[in-house]
Amino acid sequence: MNSLSKRTVAVLVAMAAATIAVLLVAGSSVAARNAAASTLTIWTDADRKPAVDKIASAWGSARGVNVVVVQKDFGKIRDDLKTVQAETAPDVIVGAHDWTGDLAASGLVLPLNPRKAVREKFPSYALNAFSYGTAVKKLYGAPVVIENIGLVVNTRLAKVPTSFANLQTQALAFKKKKSGNLAIAVQQGAAGDAYHMYPFFSGLCGYIFGTNKAGNLDPSDIGLKNAAFLKNTARIDSWNKSGLINAKVDDGAASNAFLTGKAAFWLTGPWNADRIKKAGIRFQVVQVPAVNCKSVPFLGSQGFMVTKFSAAHGVESAAKDLVGDYMMSADSQFALTTANGRYPANLDAAKRVKDPVLAQFGKAGAGGVPMPNIPQMGSVWSDLGAAWVKSTKGSGAVKARTAFSTAARNIANKIG
């Protein structure tokens, strides 16, 4: 072989070696990305972690995805999602429905598009709870459980009320029986509690925000100042005068009164069911009877959301399959309900609930209103709660019409 041929062969060998090296590096990079893409991270709280571990791992095993469930303080999940580094960020979070507007507006969670057959297994209010949009509403989360308060009746001390007038008669008669008795144990306290007072608010035809033509919440339509509600506020004045409702009753006073037989009626949620059972009280849970309008409670829903980081991690499709299909199935929802003692959002799962107390709370939430999930709701809580405190604090109370009109103006000014 002449010198030219030798040099040519050497060059070709060198080029081939370089090409192989590049391919090996590229291959290893692809392999690394594929390995990373096969891991999906979920943030959840301590109460739900065991159930989420079990259910999500079953899904992952069937699809070849390694699921990592990270335990977080529930109250910090939303804020931590805003500051987390991309490489350690979650692909899916467990969250409350009223985070939706904040997270969707910030682009931190991605919209879902479940199949029609999946959507049909959920009541519209459950899907609305996780929907958000200024023009077109999109679904940003899979509702899993729904919780709400109900009127808990000690059936040894009172009968299940047949109307609001009947509730009022029984409650005031019980209050007069003995000093220290409460008519209706509903928590407020110095800071107020708009959440627990909502059945009375809706019963008097009040609402938080109206809706626009597109069906989206309209923060310019503040329901505290609607004509029907303001006309009915005279009833609040009468409740204050009779002592039917007393703003001085806080959480501790309300629970203590009911658990020690000093109140026959208590507005509370399923989180107190075990305490009532432990006290040996025979009880039934119903919805507060209608006043002027239906007295529905606020609904709270928890569910799963897919974060924007799933796209960067290469698992967006898998995350949406997990959240928008698997976690919305009746089997998954019933398993989560069993583990956490909350009513399932899925209608088929709800039919499987055998716990009579949980079923009663679920029925007490029928027609309920999801807590508004738009950011402007943050401007409502304190003023709405304060209006109730000012108008039901006993002597020195402000006329309810004045208290709620003032609250409406304050809220409007905050929202701007």
pLDDT, residue 137, reads 87
Residues 6+ apart with CB under 8 A from 354: none
CA-CA distance, 100 to 129, in Å (whole number)? 8
Q: Residue written as tokens 């109900």?
A: 150
Instruction: Fill in the DSSP letter of residue 398.
Output: P
CA torsion, ordered 186, 190, 191, 192, to nearest 10 deg: 30
CA-CA distance, 360 to 343, in Å (whole number)? 10
Q: What 3-state class would DSSP assign to 386?
A: helix
Residue 163 has pLDDT above 80, yes or no: yes
Q: Residue written as tokens 């910030």?
A: 106
CA-CA distance, 350 to 365, in Å (whole number)? 13
Question: Would you say the C-alpha torsion 298, 304, 306, 309 has a positive or negative sign?
Answer: positive
CA-CA distance, 97 to 129, in Å (whole number)? 6
Region of poorest pLDDT, from 40-44, 156-160, 355-359: 355-359
Q: Which CATH superfamily is domain 38-140+301-357 in?
A: Periplasmic binding protein-like II (3.40.190.10)
pLDDT, residue 136, reads 82
Q: Which two tokens stand for residue 177?
A: 């029986």
pLDDT (tens digit per residue) in 68-107:
999 999 999 999 999 999 999 999 999 999 999 999 999 9
pLDDT (tens digit per residue) in 191-224:
999 999 999 999 999 999 999 887 889 999 999 9
pLDDT (tens digit per residue) in 322-338:
999 999 999 999 998 88
Q: What 3-state class would DSSP assign to 138?
A: strand
pLDDT, residue 213, reads 83
Percent of the chain residues past pLDDT 70, beyond the cut: 91
Q: Residue written as tokens 């399959």?
A: 321
Domain ranges of the chain: 38-140+301-357, 150-297+365-415
CA 346 from chain centre, in angstroms, equals 15
CATH architecture group of domain 150-297+365-415: 3-Layer(aba) Sandwich (3.40)
Which residues of 259-376 form beta strands (DSSP E)?
Answer: 265-268, 283-286, 298-306, 343-344, 369-370
CA-CA distance, 208 to 195, in Å (whole number)? 11
Asked if 38-140+301-357 and 150-297+365-415 have one fold, the answer is yes
Please compute Rg for the chain using Cα positions: 27
Which amino acid, 45?
A: D
Strand pairing partners for 210?
Answer: 218
Q: Which helix (H) or strand (E) holds 209?
A: strand 209-211
Direct distance between the N- and C-terminal alpha carbons of the chain, in angstroms, rounded to an integer:
88
CA-CA distance, 403 to 386, in Å (whole number)? 8
Residue 14 has pLDDT above 90, yes or no: no
CA distances from 196 to 33, 102, 201, 267, 269 (A): 49, 23, 10, 7, 9
CA-CA distance, 387 to 393, in Å (whole number)? 10
**Cβ proximity of 236 and 391 under 8 Å:** yes
